[in-house]
Amino acid sequence: MSPKRLFRIVAVAEAITWAMLLSGMFLKYVTETTELGVRIGGMVHGVVFVAYVLTTIVVAIDAKWPAKRTLVGLLAAVPPFVTVWFDLAGEKRGFFAGTWRLRSEKPVGFLEKVTAWLVTKPLQGLVAGVIAVAALTGVALLAGPPAS
Q: What is the pLDDT of residues 105-118, one digit of tens each?
A: 999 999 999 999 99
Query: How much is the pTM?
Result: 0.92
What are the domain boundaries of the chain? 3-143
Residues sharing a CB contact under 8 Å with residue 137, sequence separation 6 or more, in sequence order:
46, 47, 50
Q: What value does the mean pLDDT take over residues 42-46?
A: 91
Q: Which helix (H) or strand (E) holds 122?
A: helix 122-143
pLDDT tens sequence across 10-24: 999 999 999 999 999
Percent of the chain, pLDDT > 90?
83
pLDDT tens sequence across 69-105: 999 999 999 999 999 999 999 999 999 999 999 999 9
- Cα torsion for 91, 93, 98, 100, to the nearest 10°? -110
Angle between helices 67-75 and 36-63 (to 10 degrees): 170
Tell me the H-state helices in 64-96: 67-75, 82-93
> How many CA within 13 A on the CB side of residue 140?
18
